[in-house]
Amino acid sequence: MSDILYLIIYGFVVTALVGFLASWFERKITARLQYRVGPPLLQPVYDIVKLLGKETLVPFGVSKATFLSAPLLGLASVALVSTLLWVNTLNPGKTFIGDLVVVLYLLTIPSMSMMIGGFASRNPLASLGASREMKLILSYELPFLLAVFVPVIKGGFSIKLGELLSFQAQNGVFGGGASGVLAFVVAILCVQAKIGFVPFDVAEAETEISGGLLIEYSGSSLAIFKVMKNMLLCTLPLFLIVIFFGGLRFDGINALYSLLKYIGILFLIIVIKNTNPRVRIDHAVRFFWGPVMVLAILAVVLAFKGL
Amino acid sequence: MLGELFKVDNFSAFVGTFAAFFTVLIAVYSFGFMRGQKGLARYYLYIALTLISSLGAIFANNLVVFVVFWGFLGFLLYLLIEFGNKERTSATARKSLIIVGGTDAFMLLGVALIWLINGSFQMDELAITLDNKFAILAYLLLAIGAFAKAGAMPFHTWIPDMAEDAPTPVTAFLPASLDKLLGIYFLGRISLDIFQMNDAMNMFLMGVGSFTIVAAVMMALVQHDLKRLLGYHAVSQVGYMVLGIGTGNPLGIAGGIFHMLNHAIYKSCLFLSGGAVEKKAGTTDLEKLGGLVKVMPITFITFLIGSLAISGVPPFNGFASKWMIYQGIIELGKNGGGWWIVWLMAAMFGSALTLASFMKLVHAIFLGQPSNERAIAGNKKQEVGITMLFPAVLLAVFCIIFGVFAYAVPLTMFIFPSLNEGVAFDGVWNSGIATTLILLAIVLGAIIYFLGRMAKTRRTESFVGGEFLEKNADMRLSGVEFYNTIQDVGILKFIYRLAGKKLFDIYEVGGKIASGFTATLRFLHNGVLPTYLVWCLLGMLAIFYVVFK
């Protein structure tokens, strides 16, 4: 029963609220950087409410069940992985649902659900966008995995999130060492691609393939994808904090540190987004398999040396 | 006497049970798929004989008896492939027979070496340490037999060819389920019981496994034919099993054997669903399919479940066994050394590549736009008959049960009793709670849907920048070209070109070497009199030189 409460409170309510705030923060900063005023605080919520009020369009000849259930699958997986991360962060002693490998696999499902939705749209632009999303996953997956296993190497070969956290509580955070810094740089670039932000927004590329894999989505179904993407803005930084910066704590002064960690990572993501143009998909593949991969290997080698 | 030749233990009983289970399913499926073909009596006879030989090999306790039954299987494989009606079927059947039969000869040599070392053929009496050259050679020779049967690299090349040219039920029967069970069963037997593994040999197994995973899935990524693509995955997945057994710790070995079972389930499910598509659409060329989701909804669901399971998406069964193998690999890290990260990356990245190629398949067959060349017009529902649907649906249900209740059902009932050692997990995966929560989350998401105006959906034309799809027949992505970008990156381009020339095919290369020899001999015997006279003269000179020097 408490599991269900965890899901509703942490998985949906907290994650979505933080996600909406993060989305507003991102849009506001972007606007300020472009000398615009920017949206009001509740704008992400208004967007969702507006979309829920619109009718849902389904293209001719499309399987309605597949088309409309793809967003649900994505939302559910993000909710599950958020619940997992929150509960493990707040109670490191409790081994809840899964470990690091489970988190890595669950984090692929949102992209996968968007691809299935795009494929189901029966639209060549959506298919093109979805195929780019898949190629993007292939390009960032290898460096991302290497970066994520740097904490495992340094933390005594445990893949339990709780043990990684308590190791950091005793011996200092993984992001403190040379290998940790490198791995974090690699991981944040990959997270940028996972969220689908510029410069890695090739799958949606509004100005080129008009929304790509989301092109046929409208109304409630689009609203769910938007909620999912906002929630990812909470979940993915949280994941980085857990494995590189010792998780979140809310007692006394630690609450401030936790807030700073989150805002810091979010800010980095926003800066990368606003200072880069969109890359082409083959450039993205070369970028991740080339320089980023070298950095990731270097991080792993340093971790083996104990740095 | 019989007690010496055959022996039943937990491991062989479990593999034997599933061999029989798959045979029954394939026989049921064949009623629908093979209907109207010639020589069906012979077909079912061969299927039955295959089961008998497999059971003989599985329960054999004497290595000679084992090799005899194992040899029969290679021959039956040849006979079953001949039921295909493609152009290259005979050539493929011959290729399979030569690779599988040829490696049987290696095994025979390995068995002879074991006799030389120990003077015994009794499998349960052997415990050979790998400390001398003969023992190592004997292990390698036997392992080659297991690799060829299961399809690990470099003895894999018969599987993709056969997947394309043999009848689909035969492919689902042998390389996808029975041959995997047998090959990995035998690899497990020699690695766990007959020989005492050492670190170097484990390293060798893990190297072969990792290489097989990545190389085969990279080939799968660029295939244009449904069955050939699935064939490459039948190779790639063997890598996980070999890798798991090669870790040498109980967790990894249990994972490898569990993966063998899971693979047999989801790969048969995929082949059977693919066969249903082939039966209805008349082709397996990905260019000529597309948009079948409304025509064959049940087949779509079974295929999708199989795809998610093979890609290791939680909570399906493929994830459970991969997760165990990963833990086995990470366990190695505790003993020092850095190779484990290479094996781990190969296995985990292989999983992403698998997802990629199955996304392509799902798009090219069921989703996306239909091809103009598709044999079935329109969107009217037309599924295959119940005998073809039922096995695929049953296997899809197994994919879910063996994933969600991984600990309670397959692991406790079949896998753990097969191993002599206890297994303790390093990580955490409560598939039961996770599945409950994900279902609940889907329900909660659906509530958000109904907050909106979900009940009233409207059908529209799709938007392609103002163009009309009906008027532009060429505005279609089949999915075949999805990964061309990957194919053109750096060194991969070069490797793919060499693979295209079949330079990595042991059969083709072996064939070239053999024909090199015959070409030399043919040059000597060209039937021209002056040439023969020259040879005579040269021979005479040589003799004179030797005699009178």
- Residue ranges per domain, chain B? 2-438, 506-548
Read off the tokens for A110: 């949102």
DSSP B531-546: HHHHHHHHHHHHHHHH
Range among B277-291, B351-365, B523-537 with highest mean pLDDT value: B351-365
What is residue A292's predicted lDDT score, i.e. its pLDDT? 93
What is residue A24's predicted lDDT score, i.e. its pLDDT? 94
Minimal-distance CA residue of chain A relative to B482 = A131
From chain B, pick out residues whose CB is under 8 angstroms from the CB of A101: 323, 326-327, 427
Query: Judging by DSSP bridges, how do beta strands A55-59 and B128-129 pair with one another?
Result: unpaired
For residue B262, what pLDDT band results from cuts at 50, 70 and 90?
A: very high
The alpha-carbon gap from B364 to the nearest alpha carbon of chain A, in Å, equals 9
| pLDDT tens readout for residues A265-281 | 999 999 999 888 888 88
CB atoms within 10 A of CB A142: 22
The alpha-carbon gap from B383 to the nearest alpha carbon of chain A, in Å, equals 16
Radius of gyration for chain A, computed over Cα atoms and rounded to the nearest angstrom:
19
CB B354 within 8 A of CB B312: yes
CB B188 within 8 A of CB B222: no
What is residue B121's predicted lDDT score, i.e. its pLDDT? 84
B487–chain A Cβ distance below 8 A for any pair: no
A interface test, pick of B307, B319, B477 with most A CB neighbours within 10 Å: B477
CB B255 within 8 A of CB B274: no
| pLDDT tens readout for residues A28-71 | 999 998 899 989 999 999 998 888 888 888 888 888 888 888 99
For residue A94, what pLDDT band results from cuts at 50, 70 and 90?
A: confident
Amino acid letter, A185: V
Is the pLDDT higher at B523 or at B108?
B108
For the cut 90, the answer to whether the pLDDT of residue B118 exceeds it is no
A105/B314 touch (CB, cutoff 8 Å), yes or no: yes
Minimal-distance CA residue of chain A relative to B330 = A157
A224–chain B Cβ distance below 8 A for any pair: yes
B313/A112 touch (CB, cutoff 8 Å), yes or no: yes
Touching B: A residues 63-82, CB under 8 Å: 63-64, 66, 68-69, 71-73, 75-77, 79-80
For the cut 80, the answer to whether the pLDDT of residue A81 exceeds it is yes
For residue B454, what pLDDT band results from cuts at 50, 70 and 90?
A: low
A127/B368 touch (CB, cutoff 8 Å), yes or no: yes
From chain B, pick out residues whose CB is under 8 angstroms from the CB of A227: 448
* Sequence-ordered strand ranges (E) for A155-304: none
From chain B, pick out residues whose CB is under 8 angstroms from the CB of A214: none
Touching A: B residues 264-323, CB under 8 Å: 291, 293-294, 297, 300, 312-314, 319, 323
Q: Which residues contact B155 (CB under 8 A, 6 or more apart)?
A: B99, B103, B144, B147, B148, B506
CB B331 within 8 A of CB B426: yes
For residue A26, what pLDDT band results from cuts at 50, 70 and 90?
A: very high
For residue A21, what pLDDT band results from cuts at 50, 70 and 90?
A: very high
| pLDDT tens readout for residues B73-99 | 888 999 888 888 888 888 888 888 888
Mean pLDDT over B202-230 rounds to 89
| pLDDT tens readout for residues B140-187 | 999 999 999 888 888 888 888 888 888 888 888 888 888 889 999 999
- Map residue A120 onto helix, strand or coil: helix
Mean pLDDT over B494-503 rounds to 76
Is the pLDDT higher at A25 or at B486?
A25
B interface test, pick of A54, A122, A125, A222 with most B CB neighbours within 10 Å: A122
| pLDDT tens readout for residues B34-73 | 888 888 888 999 999 999 999 999 998 888 899 999 988 8
Q: What number of CA atoms fall less than 13 Å from residue B276's CA on the CB side?
A: 32
| pLDDT above 70: percentage of residues in chain B | 97
Of A112, A135, A62, the C-alpha closest to A228 is A112
What is residue A1's predicted lDDT score, i.e. its pLDDT? 72
CB B396 within 8 A of CB B277: no
For the cut 80, the answer to whether the pLDDT of residue B480 exceeds it is no
- Pairwise CA distance, residues B205 & A116, whole Å: 36
B51 backbone dihedrals φ, ψ, rounded to 5°? -60, -45
| pLDDT above 90: percentage of residues in chain A | 42
- Residue ranges per domain, chain A? 2-304
For residue B304, what pLDDT band results from cuts at 50, 70 and 90?
A: very high
For the cut 90, the answer to whether the pLDDT of residue A160 exceeds it is no
For the cut 90, the answer to whether the pLDDT of residue A190 exceeds it is yes
For residue A248, what pLDDT band results from cuts at 50, 70 and 90?
A: confident
| pLDDT above 90: percentage of residues in chain B | 28
- Pairwise CA distance, residues B399 & B402, whole Å: 5
A137/B483 touch (CB, cutoff 8 Å), yes or no: no
Minimal-distance CA residue of chain B relative to A149 = B341
Residue A283 exposed, middle or buried by CB count within 10 Å (0-12, 13-18, 19+): middle
For residue B269, what pLDDT band results from cuts at 50, 70 and 90?
A: very high
Q: What number of CA atoms fall less than 13 Å from residue B62's CA on the CB side?
A: 10
A158–chain B Cβ distance below 8 A for any pair: yes
A128 closest CB neighbour out of B427, B428, B477:
B477
Of B431, B228, B418, B217, the C-alpha closest to B323 is B431
